[in-house]
Amino acid sequence: MQFSGNASRSGPPAPGTTLEQLLIGLKRRLVRQASSSIGMLEQALDALWRLDAEQCRAVRDRDEAIDAEEIAIERDCHELLTLHKPVAKDFRVIAFILKVNADIERVADHACSIAKVGIKLAEQPPESWPTALRDLSERLPQMCHELLRAVLDEDADRARALVAADKTIDKLDKRLFEEATELITRDPTHAAAGLLIYRLGRELERIGDLMANIAEDVVYLETAEIIRHAKNRRPSGM
């Protein structure tokens, strides 16, 4: 069962609806929810670069719909677990939807936080944007869209590559800390802007972590393998 289409559930399922059909509907809603959260991130970053406070406020206004759908998807997952007692791949699909649903909502939360920082920076613009922040803001949306394709195709190999790509995001976050520190040191009057810029980096880095988490869940969905802590395991005998 692959993630495609735009249908969503409205009201109780029709009589005779199979578990597979219900899961397909839920997965479609999850993809649409993910697309909305990624759209919020892109809108927040666009508003940030233009220091458009009004557009930043528009990002925050979108969060309520994301929250409501997260709750609805979670409720429907619990209903399926209770009524259908799924096993094997069907159980993994529901577990996947539950975990990813929560992470997607958190992406929207971070997009809102970026928008809030954008409102503050519109009042006290920085003298320049750090290179690492530009790199982060370009890489992360690309990573999000690549992950969405991995989810749609249920592509475990692509998902594994995205888990590895999170290391680059972490390095850029560290570099941004150095650039923000240099900005503050060079001109203490820009201390507030420097701190806000570093906060942007932290918000983006956390979105990267969420993307890596979802990529790990794609691997679990397709292979039943939990790779979350695999990078921390040592070979036996060491």
What are the boundaries of each domain within the chain?
19-228
Q: Quote the CA–CA distance of 74 and 77 in Å, as a whole number.
A: 5
Q: Quote the CA–CA distance of 217 and 77 in Å, as a whole number.
A: 16
- Residue showing tokens 């800390």: 177
What's the whole-number average pLDDT of the chain?
A: 90
**The pLDDT of residue 78:** 96
Q: How many CB atoms lie within 10 A of CB 143?
A: 21
Q: What are the angstrom distances between the C-alpha of 93 and each of 44, 85, 159, 174? A: 31, 13, 16, 35
Split at pLDDT 50, 70, 90, the class of 8 is very low
**The pLDDT of residue 230:** 67
Q: How many CB atoms lie within 10 A of CB 110?
A: 22
**The pLDDT of residue 127:** 83
7 pLDDT higher than 90: no
Cβ-count burial 193-205 (b if 16+ within 10 Å, e if not): bbebbbbbbebbb
**The pLDDT of residue 100:** 96
- 169 with 143: CB under 8 angstroms? yes
187 pLDDT higher than 50: yes
Over the stretch 130-154, which tens digit does the pLDDT of each residue have?
Answer: 999 999 999 999 999 999 999 999 9
Split at pLDDT 50, 70, 90, the class of 235 is very low
**The pLDDT of residue 231:** 57
- 87 with 23: CB under 8 angstroms? no
Q: Quote the CA–CA distance of 72 and 167 in Å, as a whole number.
A: 33
In this predicted structure, which of 74-78, 122-126, 203-207, 210-214 has the lowest mean pLDDT?
Answer: 122-126
Q: What is the mean pLDDT of residues 67-87?
A: 95
**The pLDDT of residue 12:** 63
**The pLDDT of residue 120:** 96
**The pLDDT of residue 137:** 95
CATH 1.20.58.220 fits 19-228, yes or no: yes
